[in-house]
Amino acid sequence: MAKVPAVLALENGHVVHGTAIGAIGGESAGELVFNTAMMGYQEILTDPSYYGQTITFTYPHIGNYGVSDDDWESGKIQAAGLVVAELSRTFSNRRAVASLGEWLEHNNVAGIEGVDTRALVRMLRTEGAMRCVIVHGTDVADADLVAKALAIPSMEGQNLTPFVSTRESYVSPHTSGGEGARAGAGKNPHVVALDFGSKRNIIRRLNHYGCDVTVVPGTTTSAEVLALNPDGIFLSNGPGDPAAVSTGIATIRELLGVKPMFGICLGHQMMALAVGGKTYKLKFGHRGANHPVKNLRTGSIEITSQNHGFAVDASTLPENVEVTHVNLNDDTCAGIAIPDAQAFAVQYHPEAAPGPHDSDYLFHDFVKAMG
């Protein structure tokens, strides 16, 4: 099959030419961000936190183990587009059902390969995450593509959670597998998870630790949450600017101290906002499976999976909020606790998928807090 040309245009005027992959003839637009993980591209592309973003990987060869039916983190590809140095046409994996290119095409996602992604990442690190467009074909002038990129709304101020949150509540019960927190000792702890764009593996880890989980839309009110009689409340990850999710922040404020609470990523940021803290946009964000975090309570170092473009300003937190974890790459706040409210949250993904499991203990801590 003849190769189709493709163009990647950034808002700063930088234009890169390469080869079309995925939905040939298509177009994608979003905020260009980079991920340093060497594997886990299927989980990354289906992570709802990437909604509205185009992903480039620093690792040059992507797709060599294909895609499987087991590695979805949501019901569809959430990323707007994909930029790679080289896309593997062949794959070897006993679980694989298709190549990465076929999967992108089937899900109508346009991408580009043949790009010096490491040079692109150096540009993003210097100038920050940028809006971009990917267009297949050569019939559009570079200047027009740059103008298209400039017309994309900034990530700041955007509440994107309605695009990725569940529309209807559903229940994910604990099964006989896993640790079974209360096996043989009465009912399982019941967690109500506010879904702002949750990854599936978060719910799986809660189930693994013995929890029955009711997942509810991110717009669910505090009264509706409490009517479900939860033992604990979970705040999920998700895309966009946390400060723009005003309804969710108000709900969290009303629920703090009523039941034990655990938040991840966007949930961490929203918990901080609910107690009067502030958040800010990072220059290029933290995205990868190898970010070192220090647990300030124990002094131990955890290698973590991360995906976020905003962070909590620790200097704005009230006195009753403890900073529990710090990102060792840039000293940003990576975890908080509110002891008098039995609430805690982290700015990374203890459930990984992909990534290390150093921080999986946080799920155990949450179950322990629920008694």
CA separation for the pair 202, 349 (Å, rounded): 9
Determine which one of 132, 211, 265, 333 is catalytic. 265
Are 5-150 and 161-369 in the same CATH fold? no
Backbone phi, then psi, for 164, in 5-degree steps?
A: -125, -15
Catalytic annotation on 265? yes
Lowest-pLDDT range, 9-18, 182-191, 208-217?
Answer: 182-191
Catalytic annotation on 351? yes
pLDDT tens string 318-357: 999 999 999 999 999 999 999 999 999 999 999 999 999 9
Determine which one of 27, 31, 73, 351 is catalytic. 351
Sequence spans of domains, the chain: 5-150, 161-369
Q: List CB contacts of 111: < 8 A, sequence separation 6 or more.
A: 6, 20, 21, 22, 28, 81, 82, 83, 84, 87, 104, 134
Residue 186 has pLDDT above 80, yes or no: no
Inter-residue contact 195 to 165 (CB < 8 Å): yes
Inter-residue contact 263 to 196 (CB < 8 Å): no
Peptide bond into 354 cis (omega under 30): yes
Q: Considering the entire predicted model, what is its pTM?
A: 0.95
Greater model confidence, 181 or 328:
328
Tell me if residue 178 falls in helix, strand or coil. Answer: coil
Which CATH number describes the domain made up of 161-369? 3.40.50.880
At 173 the pLDDT is 93
pLDDT tens string 62-101: 999 999 999 999 999 999 999 999 999 999 999 999 999 9
- CATH architecture label of 5-150: 3-Layer(bba) Sandwich (3.50)
Catalytic annotation on 102? no
Inter-residue contact 328 to 337 (CB < 8 Å): no
Share of the chain above pLDDT 70, in %: 97
H helices of 209-294, in order, are 222-227, 246-255, 266-274
CA separation for the pair 73, 302 (Å, rounded): 23
At 1 the pLDDT is 61
Q: Find, among 162, 279, 174, 159, the residue nearest to 220 by Cα.
A: 162
pLDDT band per the 50, 70, 90 thresholds, residue 183: very low
Determine which one of 291, 308, 325, 349 is catalytic. 349
